Amino acid sequence: MTPTELLTAGLVVVGSFFLLVGTVGLLRLPDVYNRMHATSKATTLGAASMFLAGYVRFGPGNMGLPSLVGIVFLFLTAPTGAHMISRSAHKMGIDFYGSATWPAEDDEE
Amino acid sequence: MSNVLDLVTMGGLVLASFLTLLCGYRVIRGPTVPDRVVALDTIATNVVAIAILFAISTGESLYITVALVLAIIGFISTVTVAKYVVEGDIIQ
């Protein structure tokens, strides 16, 4: 049991935990905006931890660089996709759960 | 490949596959269309994690590149569907 394998196993455990948190949030939260909040943060963090485990496992010479590129790509594109979905949900007229409203509703249009 | 790392990656593979199946519930029963898009985005992220876990488990480092390509396809499909359900047109 080398320290590299121990670090890889720890990162895999952390990534599995965040994937579990994101999917439970997708299933249990009451609103499309709350679900998108849960998945776009927690699931991205879980997949980034998995990529980091791959970087530790394969080292910087062989396949480590695509892992780091994958981390950068996930952190760039997951908020963009969540923003597109929330904007389309707003344009479709889906309201918030409870008493929350959009900020500055009167100024729009 | 030691025994502990093998066990942990197998457990992670089983958990990620089970979570992908659970996301299918939200795809089928989602009340609105953006719910389904969010669930499909989560499925894409889980499949990326499954590909990385497969690469770690078997030592085939090519599957890291497969995971990167799957992440790109998931992002493009999410943006495309999010534009399509509002405007009914992607390239105008």
| Residue in A closest to B10 by C-alpha | A12
- How does pLDDT run across A44-86, given as a tens digit for each residue? 999 999 999 999 988 887 778 888 999 999 999 999 999 988 8
Calpha distance A71→A52 (Å, rounded) = 8
**To which H or E segment does residue A70 belong?**
helix A64-91
pTM over 0.80: yes
Considering CB atoms only, which of A20, A54, A74 is closest to B64?
A: A54
What confidence score (pLDDT) does residue A91 get? 84
| ipTM for this prediction | 0.87
What confidence score (pLDDT) does residue A103 get? 73
Place B92 in a pLDDT band, splitting at 50, 70 and 90.
low
What confidence score (pLDDT) does residue A107 get? 53
Asked if the Cβ–Cβ distance from A57 to B53 is below 8 Å, we say no
Q: Which residues contact A82 (CB under 8 A, 6 or more apart)?
A: A36, A37, A39, A40, B41
Asked if the Cβ–Cβ distance from A94 to B78 is below 8 Å, we say no
